[in-house]
Amino acid sequence: MEICKILDPGMLCTIQDLGRKGFYTIGIPTSGVFDQISFKYGNAILKNNANDAGIEVLWGGLRLVFMEDTVIAITGADMHPKVDDAAVPMWRPIQVKKGQILTLKGPPEIGVRAYLSIAGGIDVPEFYGSRSTYLLLGRGGYEGRKLEKGDILSSFEAGNRAGLEDVNQYVIPTFSYPWRIRILLGLQKDLFDAQTLQNFGEKKWTVTDKANRVGLRLSGQEVKYHIRDGVIDSGIGGIDPSNIPTEGNPLGSIQCPSETELIVIGPDGPCEGGYAKIGTIITADFHLLGQVKPGDDIFFRPIRYSEAYRALHDQKEELSYI
């Protein structure tokens, strides 16, 4: 069913779901929504399936017209949504009529990505088991690309799933700035000197203008490695102290290729890499990374594994209250 037509795609809008899993060996990253939590709330509010595809809206500027009556939800960063000329709330089911125009003007005060979920989910073909757009390869989502003016999106039948009952106010996630993101130190942490490890969790990092779905480069502190003798690891990795033999890149892992810059791996990031990693953002906080923008400050807090798992289970439980 043709559900809406894009009048203006704004800065960057892509179709995403929860991503594809199991294809790292052939170089296909997970892709999928960057802020999974906001996205999951959107589908939960509409009583969609958790993996139904929606639109990830970066920064704002999206305008679209509905071609049928439907129910939508907008979650994530507050883009000041309007239906025709009337402001509509975030994190709520919204009934829209054929011919009405939705505007997500943005930009948000905090955060950078919003999610537009539509009852039934967006109908685009699957690529390797997911409807997510993977821009580098030009596959998935809407013809493998970002949305453009004039694109017509279809949705699946919502059946009786879409509900207009109100959502429990208390469980709606809020964002607070500066960003505080929990990490687990690990992987090559022993290659870094003690001062670097200590500063890492105490001082702020600033997001540079190189920040997108592939990864984010952060600056602001000095990263020092232990001096290692000559060529490390039989030269398989390379001769700089930051070089390691190529390893898998976990989602949210933090690489340190130079003394002044970090790279955090995003959903479209390479599946492997050869730079030492100091640690990884916990799964329960990874969605926050999808809301940071150039110029934002981030404080990383190293925690224990048990805390990371507890946070993840708590988060799952909260989502179930919707």
Interacting residues toward another protein by CB under 8 A: 21-28, 136-137, 139, 184, 186-188, 210, 214-215, 231, 233-240, 243, 245-248, 250-253, 257-258, 261, 263, 270-275, 277, 279-283, 305, 308-309, 312-313, 316
Nearer to another protein, 24 or 299 (CB): 24
Nearer to another protein, 103 or 315 (CB): 315
Least distance between another protein and beta carbon 97 (Å): 39
- Radius of gyration, alpha carbons of the chain: 21
How many helices and strands (H and E) does the chain possess? Answer: 4, 20
Q: What pairing do the DSSP bridges indicate for beta strands 2-9 and 94-96?
A: unpaired
Residue type (1 letter), 240: D
Residues 29-32: contacts with CB under 8 Å, at least 24 apart: 29/134, 29/267, 29/268, 29/269, 29/270, 29/271, 30/132, 30/251, 30/267, 31/130, 31/132, 31/133, 31/134, 31/140, 31/213, 31/267, 31/268, 32/130, 32/132, 32/267
Nearer to another protein, 10 or 266 (CB): 266
The three-state secondary structure class of 253 is: strand
Provide the token pair at 298: 């981030």
Please state, as a whole number, how many other Cβ atoms lie within 10 Å of the Cβ of residue 238: 16
Burial 78-89 (b: 16+ CB within 10 A, else e): bbbbebeeeebe
Nearer to another protein, 11 or 271 (CB): 271
Least distance between another protein and beta carbon 24 (Å): 4
Residue type (1 letter), 176: S
Please state, as a whole number, how many other Cβ atoms lie within 10 Å of the Cβ of residue 201: 15
Cα-flanking dihedrals φ and ψ of residue 275, to 5°?
Answer: -110, 145
Asked if 63 and 81 count as a contact pair (C-beta separation under 8 A), the reply is no
Least distance between another protein and beta carbon 33 (Å): 17
Nearer to another protein, 62 or 281 (CB): 281
Least distance between another protein and beta carbon 34 (Å): 16
Nearer to another protein, 115 or 134 (CB): 134
Least distance between another protein and beta carbon 248 (Å): 3
Nearer to another protein, 97 or 304 (CB): 304
In sequence order, the β-bridge partners of residue 188 are none
Provide the token pair at 216: 């984010």
Least distance between another protein and beta carbon 44 (Å): 16
Nearer to another protein, 68 or 225 (CB): 225
Least distance between another protein and beta carbon 306 (Å): 8
